[in-house]
Chains A and B, each alone.
Chain A
């Protein structure tokens, strides 16, 4: 909006500006001019009053709605991970994102492109920093972005035999490293892998502990800080 100081402005021009006087986003010059006009315009003052009530009603309406942003965020990351499983990065990953391609490409391509190698390396570096004892594994991960594509899920057609007795878990994003370590330790589990880029940890019963996996799983599921916990399903052996 231009403010031509000194130029006569009409009543209509004043009416046009009223919504942005009400929401507090006029420039200082526009606000001063409009307030001078309103000082002499009863109709304008009534409009300001009416628009203030409209704005309040619209904003009050909003207070009745509850959203779940964390759940939506997890959904987005699940989509990214699912996309990566379908289209492993080493099988022709679309890296054109870094060259500034059209953002209106289909969503699948975007999700593929959303995980260039440098993101994996950044994720790995941050995890090493929190000292979870996974530095060796994560360095390997940083050098091998393909690995996530081989990540197992319950729906995966095949699982690796050495995953028997393990648990896959996702913790609340607000859980600190210290809390996470305490949860795992108190459940007599140990972290054997993760987190994946979507925050999935792979846990196993601590060596020497005679603890059924089902018990550990139950404890995890009772903990409100654990968003998700499931056993890693053993591979189907098929017919003999």
Chain B
């Protein structure tokens, strides 16, 4: 048996997540009563998370910001209808995800950024340059993925959601989430710089 340090050393799916949800539930109750300050607090708390994953999804912050405000306006007016059948974060991210897909469809902006490794094949030796290079590689590699696969990677590794939560947000079976993640990992494996590539393995 091996022990793996996971996440941010938090209790997996446990007290930390529950506590965060309880705090957000209290905020949401105040939002439902028309408390603007509570809404602002909730907005600011979600802005960074939403901005990051929506910017990835839409390839641009201006569009992401529109979707954030569209999403949060729904939260403002629908807060009273939230019944707690999911985590607050799952509910909000789900709204954002569906809004983003609509926006992508509307804007026909789902085309993938062309990835041209060119002369960057040689790994950088300077740590600063290396960080920048990896940043670029990650951005390009994620942009190459189909939207659904990119979202699963973002929601897993950036937002830190469970497989079940992602399935709820994307309105698909858990096994579909696993399959999307599996294919995303395979694509990322070949897209990353040679010394950042992860192990090969698993099913074909």
Contact = CB atoms under 8 A, between A and B. Distances in A.
Given A35-B3, A53-B198, A72-B68, A110 B73 contact: yes
Interface stretch (A117-125, A163-171, A185-193, A217-225): A117-125
A49 B195 CA distance: 13
A59 B138 contact: no
Nearest to B199: A46
Which of A24, A26, A57, A111 is most buried by chain B, counting CB atoms within 10 A of its CB? A24
Contacts of B36: 123, 197
B127 interface: no
Interface stretch (B18-26, B106-114, B118-126, B150-158): B150-158
A188 B138 CA distance: 55
Interface in B8-60: 8-13, 33-37, 40, 43-44, 47-48, 51-52, 55
A60 interface: yes
Contacts of A46: 198-199, 201
B158 A58 contact: yes
A166 to B, nearest CB: 24
Interface residues of B, number: 72
Q: Which secondary structure dominates chain A's binding surface?
A: helix
Contacts of B81: 100
A74 B161 CA distance: 29
Contact of B48 (A21, A31, A69): A69
Interface in A39-73: 39, 43-51, 53-55, 57-62, 64-65, 67, 69-70, 72-73
A122 B157 contact: no
Interface of B: 1-4, 6-13, 33-37, 40, 43-44, 47-48, 51-52, 55, 61, 65, 68-70, 72-74, 76-78, 80-81, 95, 102, 131, 134-135, 138-139, 142, 153-154, 156-158, 160-165, 174, 178, 181-182, 185, 188-189, 192, 196-199, 201-203
